[in-house]
Amino acid sequence: MTCKITNVIITKKISYKQNIIFRRLLNVIKKLLIGALAASMSMSAFAHFQLIHTADSDISGKASVPFELIFTHPAEGVEGHKMDIGKDEKGKINPVVEFFSVHNGEKKDLKSYVETV
């Protein structure tokens, strides 16, 4: 016994109103897909960030605040994997080029206060 399967095309005439609704739906789906693609591609840009970590979160009124600059993954936080930013392939630490603060348009050089840990 043999079985023969053929492609069947069913055509249905749709109204003008149904055609407009269908086209609008397709446009919405296209926009959603393009938006999802753009969002997923841009998420890799947010995969790592620079964290300024202080042991004490209340730093008001203090003359000196020790802190660490940590380059890490946002989901891992301070306890997660830290990347060696500022080191070359041989592990040599490169010096800080600039470190400053800006307050009310006045730039204050803070490089002399930076210590390598």
**pLDDT per residue as tens digits for the range 33-46:** 888 887 776 665 55
- Is residue 35 within 8 Å of 27, Cβ to Cβ? no
**pLDDT on residue 4:** 60
**pLDDT per residue as tens digits for the range 52-67:** 778 888 888 888 888 8
β-pairing, 82-83 vs 68-72, is antiparallel
Give the chain's mean pLDDT.
77
- Is residue 82 within 8 Å of 71, Cβ to Cβ? yes
Alpha-helical (H) ranges within 12-89 are 16-43
Q: Is 83 strand, coil or helix?
A: strand
